[in-house]
Amino acid sequence: MGVITRAEDFYLPPPILDPTPWDDAAPAERVIRWTEHHQQRRITTDPTAQAGQLYARINHSRWVADCTCGSAQIVSPADPRMWCVVCGAGWWQLIFPADIGTVEESLAALPIIERNWWATADPVFPALEV
């Protein structure tokens, strides 16, 4: 695991399950499996349902994306997509920075609570007003 937590680091199979089926699951699909197990419900996805684009950001040392429904989940640059497990809007295509390693390294020396990053092109970028 690196300095910044990604979906494949966080959404791990529970110890009571065989981890083998999880090994080949893409990070975005691990989120679905993890949620199904923890919430004891089935999540149906549609591979053709496209929801649009969202910017990924770093929040407290985790790559996250915020769905338009208000929920968020940990995501991964290794699989730049997200199926919202709350509203099921479709597959969101995630926008990550061009140089992910540089962004992550720039935060490495900070305390976890201060490891935050936003894409300045993100329309919901929190502009500081003076």
pLDDT score of 38 more than 60 = yes
- Give me the mean pLDDT over the 59-88 stretch: 97
Q: How confident is the model at residue 96 (pLDDT cuts 50, 70, 90)?
A: very high
Q: How confident is the model at residue 21 (pLDDT cuts 50, 70, 90)?
A: confident
Mean pLDDT for the chain overall: 93
- Give me the mean pLDDT over the 63-80 stretch: 97
Q: How confident is the model at residue 130 (pLDDT cuts 50, 70, 90)?
A: low
pLDDT score of 51 more than 90 = yes
What separation in angstroms does the CA of 46 have from each of 9, 81, 92?
25, 13, 12
Query: Which contiguous run of DSSP H or E holds residue 23?
Result: helix 20-23
* Sheet of strand 62-66, all strands in order from the earlier edge strand to the far edge: 72-74, 62-66, 50-59, 91-95, 81-83
- Give me the mean pLDDT over the 37-56 stretch: 95
Distance CA 44, CA 46 (A): 7
- Give me the mean pLDDT over the 110-122 stretch: 94
- Give me the mean pLDDT over the 4-23 stretch: 92
pLDDT value of position 2: 75
- Give me the mean pLDDT over the 74-85 stretch: 98
pLDDT score of 20 more than 60 = yes
pLDDT value of position 128: 62
